[in-house]
Amino acid sequence: MHRLPQEFLDRMKTQLGEEFDSFLACFDTEGYTGLRVNTGKVKVEEFLSGVPFHLTPVPWTTNGFYYDRESPVAKHPYYFAGLYYIQEPSAMLPASRLPVQPGDIVLDLCAAPGGKATELSSQLQGKGLLVANDASASRAKALVKNLALWGTANCCITGETPERLLEQFGCCFDKILVDAPCSGEGMFRKDSGLIESWKSRGPESYAPVQKDILDCAVQMLKPGGVLAYSTCTFSSEEDEEVISEILRRYPDMEPVQPEMAEGFAAGTAPCGQSIRIWPQRVKGEGHFLALLRKRGRKETEGAKKQAEPAYHREECTLAAYSAPEIQKNHRKIPEQVTDFLVKLPGVLWENTVYEQIGEQCLLLPPYHLPKHLRYLRTGIMLGTLKRGRFEPSQALAMLLDRHSFPCVLDLSAADERTIRYLKGETLELTAGEDAGLEKTGKCMTPGTKGWVLICVDGFALGWGKYVKGTIKNKYYPGWRLQ
């Protein structure tokens, strides 16, 4: 058993009562491993029929599954194609309960490394906008990679404080997820290093930070919008007491009952409309979730004034580019880039805004975004334009499949060349493949000639450059299989 702090054990005994012994026994067992299917790229049924792992459903999601710890899920080609995200099962809860609809403007305020942001992206189905933010620059690097691997186009990734986002965006989000920094008690079994961190910085250190983050989040939420607050801690001080304080400060916020599942527990009063996941009850680590809705103006008119709101922000929306503005913007696209774009599905570029920063070529979401923020990625990184030649990006490849580019080498997961490609090696072609690419290559425009989309069972992995009989490897070096 992990050496749990006595102060923690004493509190949990009081908090759990008769369940304390079964809770304590969990620390003598291994935790559970899970993955979540990318429904933006593959249907769950299709994924299950093709993946070689033994999977069993996570009860509280439609696309989450437990896998055996021995399964090499992080080395399978489908992982590199962005078909699934490796995620602790309980951590799948918050994004699954936030009622995101296609077309929403969504903020994931503490988004790194991207597990919840990728699911929010899938729920948007390519419509609306996802703003994924993390104040930590080091953590945000993983966020950038994971959203690119997932094939997310309609997003911007920022590295700002909540206060800075509030200043620039104002009150414009339909849905907000706050997966708050916390003492991590729910992850003690999974990561014993968090126990030592807890000893120096426990719940009393995090609760004020959580309230400050929620202060900003509430002010950025539109009337009628929904906010999800989650932690991976058991501490009432960081969970129910934080929510209770926010409801006191903001009388136009009201709790919403999240959908329950077998084994879930309700939170304690006055926040009984919340979910607690206890490891002695379900196959997962500790988690807490509360949903809050901001009442609209009509709902609050005539109601008894309980308290003066701590903010006075008008509802606003992100101004969208008009069709004429987009068409005018597209006339600025260099010919070499246009030659490549016209070979791609129109959905990727017809409703976006082109921008070039130095050699980098971007397709931005069709919104007039605030200018004075630190953007780590915005929209689609098309590629680079160097010395008059356009070179497509790895992120662009992850938005495609075998049907969305004219020149494709589609390998099977069992083909040893698939792993060789992921390691960065040059690929030798069979006679039939060589003849097919040669024929296709002759039909391509100068801007795309020679570029080949490498796929595994139809799902994109990255780019290669065709040279008669071989594929020169263009897989992004930083993503290569070690």
Looking at the annotation, which residues are catalytic?
Answer: 232
Distance CA 471, CA 429 (A): 7
The first and second tokens of residue 3, run together, are 């050496």
Contact between 437 and 450 (Cβ < 8 Å): no
Cβ contacts of 13 within 8 Å, gap of 6 or more: 20
Q: Look at residue 72 and give its three-state secondary structure.
A: coil
| Amino acid symbol at 171 | C
What are the residue ranges of helices labelled H in 84-222? 93-97, 115-124, 137-150, 162-169, 193-200, 203-220
Contact between 190 and 285 (Cβ < 8 Å): yes
Phi then psi for 394, rounded to 5 degrees? -65, -40
User: Own/partner pairs for 435-439, CB < 8 Å, 24+ apart?
Assistant: 437/407, 437/409, 437/466, 438/466, 438/468
What stretch of H or E contains 13?
Answer: helix 6-16
Burial of 229 (0-12, 13-18, 19+ CB in 10 A): buried
C-alpha of 438 from chain center? 38
Phi then psi for 411, rounded to 5 degrees? -100, 155
Cβ–Cβ contacts within 10 Å for residue 128, how many? 21
Pick from 136, 130, 172: nearest CA to 151: 130
Q: Look at residue 130 and give its three-state secondary structure.
A: strand
Phi then psi for 468, rounded to 5 degrees? -30, 115
Burial of 276 (0-12, 13-18, 19+ CB in 10 A): buried
The first and second tokens of residue 411, run together, are 């390998």
Cβ–Cβ contacts within 10 Å for residue 326, how many? 17
